[in-house]
Amino acid sequence: MSLEQFKNRNIGTQNYVALDVGKPPKSGLCQFKQVVKRTFKGELFVGLWVTMKAMLKALFGGDMHTIQYPFEKLPISPRYRAIHDMLRLLESGNYRCIGCGLCEKICISNCISMDTRYDENQRKEVSEYTINFGRCIFCGYCAEVCPELAIVHGPRYENASEQRAGYSLFEDMLTPIDKLNLQQEYDGFGAVSPNADENIKKTPLAY
């Protein structure tokens, strides 16, 4: 659409059309008559009908334009950086986290704190893991640096809380074991690129 007509500020040169709005009532009686006339003409229902049509369309026609927040939420971009999730391995259900401590190291607001230990299976295991969401600036470095795609940003973006410090534990962020089938792969920063398969090299450990 051209913006010319809006930029022309020389009133009088445009093609104005005068509307026939009739004559305004002159006496008090005339005014009263006008009110009565308009009231009983039924114009109101013309407008209400339009509303009614839209409502029926939304309710029964599947054409709803609003959502029932907070019961419903709009989907957000996979690159949005919200509250972290801790993912599990799909096959075994084990934690993906290997306790390497890179997220703790890279965190620029120092909000990640972790402790690790030597577990019964001779593996390094996270024994304590907390993120202080009062400090977290959701920069996404932790997800990007994670070599195992264990810590990722999830879709939970509501951060309102009663206190400034809000700690989240490892278990709070971990995919519940019974909802493992619902676990979404992360597509944000640090995720595997779509053509990752082409770039894979064989390891030398051929045996």
Q: Minimal distance in Å, beta carbon 195 to other proteins?
A: 20
Residue 43: in which H helix or E strand, if any? helix 43-60
Q: Does 201 bind other proteins (CB under 8 A)?
A: yes
The Cα–Cα gap between 96 and 185 comes to 12
Of 168, 85, 171, give the one whose Cα is nearest residue 126: 171
Exposed/middle/buried for 64, CB within 10 Å: 0-12, 13-18, 19+? exposed
Of 174, 89, 166, 169, give the one whose Cα is nearest residue 128: 169
Q: What is the largest CA-CA distance in the chain?
A: 105
The Cα–Cα gap between 122 and 137 comes to 35
Q: Does 103 bind other proteins (CB under 8 A)?
A: no
Q: Does 204 bind other proteins (CB under 8 A)?
A: yes
Nearer to other proteins, 164 or 201 (CB): 201
- Which of 147, 176, 184, 185 is the binder for other proteins (CB under 8 A)? 147
The Cα–Cα gap between 207 and 91 comes to 23
- Which of 122, 163, 181, 199 is the binder for other proteins (CB under 8 A)? 122
Nearer to other proteins, 127 or 159 (CB): 127
- Binding span for other proteins by CB under 8 A among 10-18, 71-79, 102-110, 184-192: 102-110
Q: Does 105 bind other proteins (CB under 8 A)?
A: yes
Q: Does 104 bind other proteins (CB under 8 A)?
A: yes
Q: What angle do CA 172, 183, 90 make, to 5 degrees?
A: 105
Q: Minimal distance in Å, beta carbon 167 to other proteins?
A: 15
Q: Minimal distance in Å, beta carbon 54 to other proteins?
A: 57
Contact residues toward other proteins (CB under 8 A) are 98-102, 104-105, 115-118, 122-125, 147, 201, 203-207
